[in-house]
Chain A
Amino acid sequence: MSFQDLLLQQIINGVSLGAMYALLALGFTMVYGIIELINFAHFNVFMVGSFVAMWIMGAMGIVGQSEVLYGLPLVGVLLVTLIATMLITGLLGVLIERVALRPLRGVAGTAPMITTIGLSYILFNVILLAVGADSKNYTNPLPRTHWEIGEAVLRLRELLLWGISIGLMVVLHYFVRGTKMGKAMQATAQDPEAARMMGVDVDRVVAMAFFLGSALAGAAGMIFGLYYNFTSFIIGYTAGLRAFTAAVLGGIGNIPGAMLGGILIGLIESLGGHFIAVRWTDVIIFSILVLVLVFRPTGLLGRAAPTKS
């Protein structure tokens, strides 16, 4: 394989990973932007999402990887699975916020963050007990269609995953920019007390941030399964930490930043993994996390200084 083709192949892989990290990073960033909380439960909402999507496909009678769908049935199955998964994980996020985090709202210090770590463990163990410790083959009805560009291969599944990610990000963008709820979210992120004084129901805004973030995590979980062809109770940590790094790299609290950070981390993982060594990717990614936190804590697209008074 020529160098160019190798590079192209790794970029295709990197963008695919990056699109998934971006979806996951958006959840971290939205919740942080609004209540300045790092939600570690998010890792495992993603993991739960990947199982939920598999169960939903199972409920529609699709199991394993031998059954391949084309055309309208394929689009239908994917769409139903995506929407149902996002609804379920979105509601899981709302439940987490309502039951475990809202009572702690306004409590200073790390108590709410520690609570999210506890919640993350609960989800982790519930799935471990429910499905066992071995990794599961993922349901995958996608045809094996692919295109060759030189010696690089672009598979239909990659195009599809990019499409889903980009579509969701565009919808999110217009939701935040163009709707009243989106405006309320922006206002709350900039000054929660002033937003409240304008008549914004801050509790609803926080619940909405959890819903959207967790729904996107569910979508990312489904994408993970379709991309890697397996899932396991353990997938939340690696992907979650990388997505978290992506959010920090882009500027935590910043929505376009999370998208950019996600793609960059995906590219670093695939290019670094190929041209340096796979065992070094984690070192590289977490060095980036540390370097960003030390030298540019606001991230690439973050604001120069906090403007809250």
Chain B
Amino acid sequence: MHISDAQQQPERRPLLEFSDVDTYYGEMHVLKGVNYRVGEGEIVCLLGGNASGKSTTMKTILGIVTPQRGTVTYAGETINTLPTADRVRKGIAPVPEARRLFPRMSVLENLYMGAFTREDKAEIESDLERVFGLFPRIKERLKQSAGTLSGGEQQMVAMARALMARPKLLCMDEPSMGLSPLFVEQVFDLIQAINRQGTTIFMVEQNANMALSIANYGYVLQTGEVVLSGSAQSLRDNEMVRQAYLGELKVAAH
């Protein structure tokens, strides 16, 4: 049922690859033989309806769940059973679904948690300055406890926290969730800025329009199977994507 796109993605070295990955929660089969390829320096987006397995994909990359079959390769190395901490050390960092900040820690403490696996104190401080450059508003809130921030501010802190790990691969799960349109635009601008600084991005999004406008490549997941993949442009032109994810169903029905 997989409809691959004729337009090939440009040949970049793959940073992350899934080949025929099956992930389960107990008896429940969630990811069913999925294949992804995220090239170095790319923005790749993952679309799909609720419960299709998008967050499970992110958890599989981070090692929160381990696949039962298939292989997950990162930077040329199979990481199927690598502990999460080692993955973080190798440069995989998450911006989890619903942010998941540590609510009773201050913003600054949350940022340091992002650098938890690092020992290079001086470098951590300079990364902190770099992060303040990207998110100037965070600097005004360093002492506030994270649980009392607004949703938009929390999203900024979650992104900043992930950057404190100095990631090569940033896994973002619905970064625009619950944000006002203006804020969504800011978030996507920031994602592009982060990407331009050299971080590869694998992003789950419901906001398909925005996501495809900044992505190089995309996948569409349906009940655990990749049903469509291709360049962002080709997905935007695809009839099924337009109907299901770009909100054009009504237009077509008229």
Contact = CB atoms under 8 A, between A and B. Distances in A.
- Do A and B pair up? The answer is yes
B103 A187 contact: no
Interface stretch (B1-9, B113-121, B192-200): B113-121
A196 interface: yes
B59 to A, nearest CB: 9
A194 interface: yes
Interface residues of A, number: 19
Nearest to B104: A190
Interface string B104-116: 1100010011101
B89 interface: yes
B105 A198 contact: no
Contacts of A198: 88, 113-114, 116-117, 161, 165
Interface in A183-221: 183-184, 186-187, 190-191, 193-201
B84 A194 contact: no
Interface string B86-100: 001100001010101
Given A186-B105, A193-B64, A201 B83 contact: yes
A177 to B, nearest CB: 10
Contacts of A194: 96, 100-102
Given A194-B100, A199-B89, A183 B83 contact: no
B232 interface: no
Given A197-B88, A309-B100, A187 B64 contact: no
A179 interface: no
A307 interface: yes
B31 interface: no
B96 A197 contact: yes
A106 to B, nearest CB: 11
B109 A183 contact: yes
A190 B113 CA distance: 12
Nearest to A204: B85
Contact of A191 (B85, B102, B116, B117): B102
In this complex, the member of A195, A196, A199, A200 whose beta carbon has the largest number of chain B beta carbons within 10 angstroms is A199
Nearest to B115: A198
A117 B124 CA distance: 45
Nearest to B112: A183
B102 A190 contact: yes
Contacts of A199: 84-85, 88-89, 116-117, 165
A197 B104 contact: no
Nearest to A200: B116
A196 B64 contact: yes
B62 interface: yes
B105 A187 contact: yes
A184 B116 contact: yes
Interface in A131-187: 180, 183-184, 186-187
A169 to B, nearest CB: 20
Interface in B109-165: 109, 112-114, 116-117, 147, 161, 165
Contacts of A184: 116
Contact of B84 (A180, A187, A190, A197): A197
Contacts of B165: 198-199
A191 B112 CA distance: 15
B94 A197 contact: yes
Given A190-B104, A197-B64, 16 more contacts: A180-B116, A183-B109, A186-B102, A187-B105, A187-B113, A187-B116, A194-B100, A194-B101, A196-B84, A197-B96, A198-B88, A198-B117, A199-B89, A199-B117, A201-B83, A307-B104
14 contacts: A183-B109, A190-B102, A191-B103, A193-B64, A193-B100, A194-B100, A194-B102, A197-B62, A197-B64, A198-B88, A198-B113, A198-B116, A198-B165, A200-B116
Q: What 3 pairs across the A-B complex have the smallest Cβ distances? A: A199-B88, A199-B117, A194-B100
